[in-house]
Structure 1
Amino acid sequence: MMNNLFSIFDPTTNLFNLSFNWMSTILGLLFIPYSYWFIPNRHYIFWNFILNKLHNEFKTLLGLNSFNGSTFIFISLFSFIFFNNFLGLFPYIFTSTSHLTLSLSISLPLWLSFMLYGWINNSQHMFAHMIPQGTPNILMPFMVLIETISNIIRPGTLAVRLTANMIAGHLLMTLLSNTGSNFPSYLLFILIFIQILLLILESAVAVIQSYVIAILSTLYSSEVN
């Protein structure tokens, strides 16, 4: 019996009405004990190198007016999304970032906190940001409307971008794997090779999407200072 194609994204594994699939979101915590070794291994040194690069880049984007330690919010956001995206590529591990429930839970509080901080502390700057410099007087009401709409849809675009990219790759891999039973044996090697290429592509997408979400969140927060 043919199931719904999107049923592969449903968290159906449960015990005592508790969904076990959503527990995959905390699997990234298993990588934290690497930092407590007396002599760090190569994986931790490589990960620490990546985090230092991200810290310097986020610090540059936030500017001189940013608070000390504010980059750690976006580094933690990058790490959380990266681990969830990457671990979702392994068999029998639920990809929680392919659901709007999780991605909206991340983007909406971040955006809301930026907006509240900006309008409470820098209301004049926020009003000035809604009208680009050099805008004719007759176009100012339209620019305010356009900027307001673009600000409101920002958490939705962040969430949909992450969810759509994760769903698209997983659906494509699922569709190809379901056709394997109908393939002759001499074509299975081609199918396996295509699946390996798709897996490499999805690994790159997992890194890129976590980086894009962190960078865009950093840019949104830099606008309220």
Structure 2
Amino acid sequence: MMTNLFSVFDPSSNIMNLSINWTSMMIGLMLIPTSFWLIPNRKMILWNLILNKLHEEFKLLIGKKYINKGSTFLFISIFSIILFNNFMGLFPYIFTSTSHMVMTMTLALPLWLSFMIYGWVNNTKHMFIHLVPQGTPGLLMPFMVCIETISNIIRPGALAIRLAANMIAGHLLLTLLGNTGNNIMMSLLPFLIITQILLLMLESAVAIIQSYVFAVLSTLYSSEVN
């Protein structure tokens, strides 16, 4: 019996007190090697087209002046793993790893921390310039430094919470509507099914959008330290 709404996100399967729900993140690794032995099909061509488009966009966001060979592959990989885990969470009885802060913060915090360390070590003056926007009056400069510092510090938390909250919100709505199926009249059941299908389509779009937003914001944060 569900004790509260958020209990559907709790890791429940375990072996010797070790949670095995997180192994859902590894399911995709079983599919990757087989793709290298297949004749290129429409699915692979479409996926390669998407990755090429992302590569061009990330290269534009980082800037040709500062881009290094292969630097966009990091953000494409982040996009791919978040997209895969978001979609896996839409299948029944599969653990939604991206709805947990443990997963999202593990992705966001090391990225932000590495950007900050690189920026402050190699481009210290540039990082100080970012603390005071151009055209700020001298009287407001101390306040702008505080505001910019706080906004910079909360970036990894904002990235992690945005992804986790969006995954939780849609799944909670699907769970709430699904639990009402036993209590409504048969005449209203078709409307419930149609609503669930529409919500599932919306969640599929959210899964794509949130992985894209996470990758793009990470790219923008990296471009600011150059």
- Tell me if TM exceeds 0.5: yes
| Structure 2: stretches of 5+ with no match in the other structure | none
Contact persistence 2:104–2:164 (CA under 8 A): yes
Partner secondary structure for residue 134 of structure 2? coil
Aligned to 1:67: 68
Moved more, 63-72 or 29-38: 29-38
Q: Which amino acid in 2 is paired with 1:124?
A: K
Aligned to 1:124: 125
Matches within 5 A, 1:135-154: 135-154=136-155
Query: What is the CA–CA distance in structure 1 between the aligned matches of 2:206 and 2:38, rounded to whole Å?
Result: 33
Partner secondary structure for residue 49 of structure 1? helix
Query: What is the CA–CA distance in structure 1 between the aligned matches of 2:184 and 2:14, rounded to whole Å?
Result: 34
Matches within 5 A, 1:182-221: 182-221=183-222
Aligned to 1:26: 26
Q: Which amino acid in 1 is paired with 2:200?
A: L
Aligned to 1:39: 39
Query: What is the CA–CA distance in structure 2 between the aligned matches of 1:81 and 1:23, rounded to whole Å?
Result: 15
Query: What is the CA–CA distance in structure 2 between the aligned matches of 1:61 and 1:131, rounded to whole Å?
Result: 22
Aligned to 2:17: 17
Contact persistence 2:83–2:211 (CA under 8 A): yes
TM-score normalized by structure 2?
A: 0.97
Q: Which amino acid in 2 is paired with 1:18?
A: L
Query: What is the CA–CA distance in structure 1 between the aligned matches of 2:34 and 2:44, rounded to whole Å?
Result: 6
Q: CA deviation at 1:90?
A: 0.4
Q: Which amino acid in 2 is paired with 1:4?
A: N
Matches within 5 A, 1:61-140: 61-64=61-64, 65-140=66-141
Change (3 A) 1:2 1:162: closer
Query: What is the CA–CA distance in structure 2 between the aligned matches of 1:30 and 1:61, rounded to whole Å?
Result: 32
Q: CA deviation at 1:4?
A: 1.2
Q: Which amino acid in 2 is paired with 1:101?
A: V
Superposed CA deviations along residues 118-169 of structure 1, whole A, max 9, x for unmatched, are: 0000000000111111111000000100000000000000000000000000
Query: What is the CA–CA distance in structure 1 between the aligned matches of 2:74 and 2:130, rounded to whole Å?
Result: 24
Q: CA deviation at 1:38?
A: 5.2
Contact persistence 1:13–1:19 (CA under 8 A): yes
Q: CA deviation at 1:30?
A: 3.0
Aligned to 2:53: 53
Contact persistence 1:34–1:44 (CA under 8 A): no
Contact persistence 1:59–1:71 (CA under 8 A): yes
Alignment RMSD: 1.1
Runs of 4+ in structure 1 off by over 3 angstroms are none
| Structure 1: stretches of 5+ with no match in the other structure | none
Number of residues of Structure 1 aligned to a counterpart in Structure 2: 225
Contact persistence 2:97–2:103 (CA under 8 A): yes
Superposed CA deviations along residues 57-115 of structure 1, whole A, max 9, x for unmatched, are: 00000002122111000000000000000111000110000000100000000000000
Query: What is the CA–CA distance in structure 2 between the aligned matches of 1:212 and 1:106, rounded to whole Å?
Result: 13
